[in-house]
Structure 1
Amino acid sequence: MCAASESKARLPVYNPAATSTSIKPAVRHSTKVRVFFSPESLPEITSSLLRVSSATSIKKYIRCKKESKACATIFNWKIITVASCKMVKRKPVVAGRFYKENPSELTQELGGLMKHLPGEEKKKILGAVSPHAGYMYSGSVAGELYSRSKIPRRIIILSPNHTGYGARISMFPDGFWETPLGDVEVDSELCSLIQSKHRLIERETYAHLFEHSIEVQLPFLQHLKDGFILVPITLMHLTYGECENMAGVISDSIKELGENVLILASSDLNHYQDQLVTETKDMMAIDRVLSLDPEGLLEVTSKHHISMCGVISTTVMLIACLKLGAHNAELLKHATSGDVSGDYSRVVGYAAISVY
């Protein structure tokens, strides 16, 4: 959980009881249906919706699930839109909560968060760390990164998996990610290249359906770069050796592609301790990132119980950037949720770091 928990309402990031939204699976005929089912059946239902080839079969399948005893606990969930059996559109899940849902209001919000100084040259970077809380809390930190960095056409976003759904290493299938500012296309070529080199990567949707940490990066990127394409990857816990392997696959694929690619690690820092403790722990982790020491980052977060949710994403990003020739890293901004809320008793830390 990240910054949404810092609001007065204290809504969990993914609370099915608080999410009253129609599920809109659209296959060929774009038929809209309202469905209720238990969270335990999510993987099975999603898989079936991706396999079916007509609106009639969707309705038939849903009717069977509604009558199942397994659905005694009722929740209302929102599922992705299926444009076809191969192309998938991932719908936004935190628009209206983490950032403005109205396109013009979102554009105005982003403009206020990214204040590039006239005459300041944007830096070409290989990788970065960006927070993924609500824009109210971490938007100014993320904005510092994006406003000072050159954004290439191709972007890999590595994120933690807060929900526990899906594969350990999950890459979203070919398709699109929707935001209020439009659709972002999945980079089919680079995704296929990376997957071909790593046997544990799965192209699936479960890990991405309710995971917010990639989604919140996209409006920033859309605001700055028209037509960028995306490699979305969520990572559960990996050993350092597995991080090295994943990073090697990414760096080798980028070299083979022969284009500039930004590797973005989506991560908040320490969670839900007081300001002093959080600042101390955050700086321990930040120091390892600035030293380009991925193994040290894993060690210090484990030894000092630093709840950096994207530590695996950051570790993989650092190793990949080192393989691509990175020699420096810069802390652009650090803050906590307490700096916004005024409550320093239980905060979340955020940092914007560029690697080049």
Structure 2
Amino acid sequence: MQVRTPAVAGMFYAGEKNQLKKSIHDCYLHSFGPKSLPPSSSKKNIIGMICPHAGFMYSGPIACHSVYEISANQYETFIIIGPNHWGIGCNVSSIKECTWETPLGEVIVDSKLADELVNEINFVELDLFSHTKEHSIEVQIPMLQEAFQNAFKILPISLIDQTKKTTVELGKAVAKISKKNKVMIVGSSDFTHYEPNDVAHKQDKALIEPILRLDIDEFYKVLEEKQVSACGYGAIAATMQASKELGATEGKLLKYATSGDITGEKSSVVGYGSIVFS
């Protein structure tokens, strides 16, 4: 059994177990967070969600909104789709026969779903190397571990190729393998990068509108025309497509803020949004 060891523990989030738990709790109770600790009081029929993946001190409070919204439910597997910032390995990659290690313990990769995904579409490759340095999937896992005490599995999918054709096909395949399983689909992405705060808010508002309508064609059109620098746009699109295939009719923006809103440094910010599909 392979082990995927942490790449950004001690940088994007605390590397020690108790400190990490405290920092996650602080994110929930932060003024930009949901202001309550999970689990939530009501179960909701949510199919997929968009969650940011920056350092917890920046995006953690925003990310907590999506996790809190689903925290009354139980899931067998979280399918986590994220961009491959490093551009190493395969264009679209997953892994199997692997445990994913964080300071909160190990999570097993769902090898059965990995095999099913590879059988559905021939461009997904099983390759641990593609995942070794990437943070976009890694930072989601401690948040999920802290919110869900049951022994869930994960299916990580890392994207270098984020073109519309690829992400729509991937979304359809993810939906197909999800139908017989109790899963949650997580699209990992930040929004605008390194623009002034007012520009980021304006750009991201324009991009979020078609996300909430589950309009992938318009999403890619806005992305291109406005040159929005959302890093995980393909992960967003694949999650939108999978959610639509599984019956979602709309998205709901739970919280949007930028790093500048949180830190007060507004000259060059990154945007973060938590969105759920139902």
Q: Residue 118 of structure 1: CA displacement?
A: 8.8
Q: Give the aligned residue type for 1:127.
A: G
Out of 216, 219, 233, the residue aligned to residue 157 of structure 2 is 233
- SS for the counterpart of 1:231 is strand
Does 2:201 correspond to 1:279?
yes
* Alignment TM-score, normalising by the size of structure 1: 0.73
TM-score by length of 2: 0.93
SS at match of 1:325: coil
Match of 2:169 among 245, 252, 266: 245
5 Å-filtered alignment, 1:150-169, equals: 150-169=73-92
CA distance in 2, matches of 1:117, 1:142: 13
Identify the structure with the greater strand proportion: 2
- Residues 190-244 of structure 1: CA deviation (Å, up to 9, x unaligned): 1111111111111002221110010100001101223110100001234322222
Identity %: 36
Aligned to 1:56: none
Counterparts of 1:167 and 1:118 in 2: how far apart (Å)?
37
Confirm or deny: 8 A CA contact 1:145 1:332 kept in the other structure. Answer: yes
Q: 2:18 aligns with which of 99, 104, 116?
A: 104
1:167-211 deviations in whole A, cap 9, x for unaligned? 100112321110000001000111111111111111002221110
**Distance in 2 (alpha carbons) for counterparts of 1:345 and 1:134:** 18
Report the alpha carbon displacement of residue 151 of structure 1 after superposing the two structures with TM.
4.5
Residue in structure 1 matched with residue 31 of structure 2 by the alignment: none
**C-alpha distance in 1 between matches for 2:74 and 2:213:** 23
Q: Which entry has the higher C-alpha Rg, 1 or 2?
A: 1
Q: Could you list the runs of 5+ residues in structure 1 that have no partner in the other structure?
A: 1-86
Larger displacement relative to structure 2 (235-244 or 166-175): 235-244
Q: 1:145 — aligned with what?
A: 66
Q: What is the letter of the counterpart of residue 171 of structure 1? A: S
1:119 positional shift? 7.1
- Say yes or no: does 1:123 pair with 2:37: no
One-letter code of the match for 2:241? I
In structure 2, the gaps of 5 or more residues are 29-35
1:200-219 → structure 2 map (5 Å cutoff):
200-219=123-142
- 1:124 to partner: Cα distance: 3.1
Q: Measure, in 1, the Cα distance between the counterparts of 2:39 and 2:169.
A: 41
8 A Cα contact 1:295 1:315, kept in partner = no
| SS at 1:352 equivalent | strand
Within the alignment, does 1:302 sit opposite 2:224 as a pair? yes
The 1:119–1:295 alpha-carbon spacing in structure 2 relative to 1, beyond 3 Å, is: closer
Correspondence for 2:27: 113
* C-alpha spacing 1:165/1:111, structure 2 compared with 1 (3 Å): same
Q: How far off is 1:104 after superposition?
A: 1.0
RMSD: 1.4
> How many angstroms apart in 2 are the aligned matches of 1:269 and 1:201?
25
Equivalenced residues, count: 268
1:318 counterpart residue number: 240
Amino acid at match of 1:334: Y
Does residue 224 (structure 1) correspond to residue 152 (structure 2)? The answer is: no
Pick closer, same or farther for the CA change 1:107–1:284 going to 2, 3 Å.
Answer: same
The alpha carbon displacement at 1:123 in A equals 2.3
Partner-residue secondary structure (3-state), 2:89: coil
Per the TM alignment, residue 339 of structure 1 is displaced from its structure 2 partner at its CA by 1.6
Q: Which has the higher contact order (CA 8 A, sep 6+)?
A: 2
- Helix, strand or coil at the partner of 1:105: helix
Tell me how far 1:117 sits from its aligned partner: 8.0
Distance 1:244 1:118, change over 3 A: closer
Name the amino acid aligned to 2:156. P
Instruction: Tell me which residue corresponds to 1:194.
Output: 117
Mark the CA change 1:93 to 1:123 in structure 2 (over 3 Å): closer, same or farther.
same
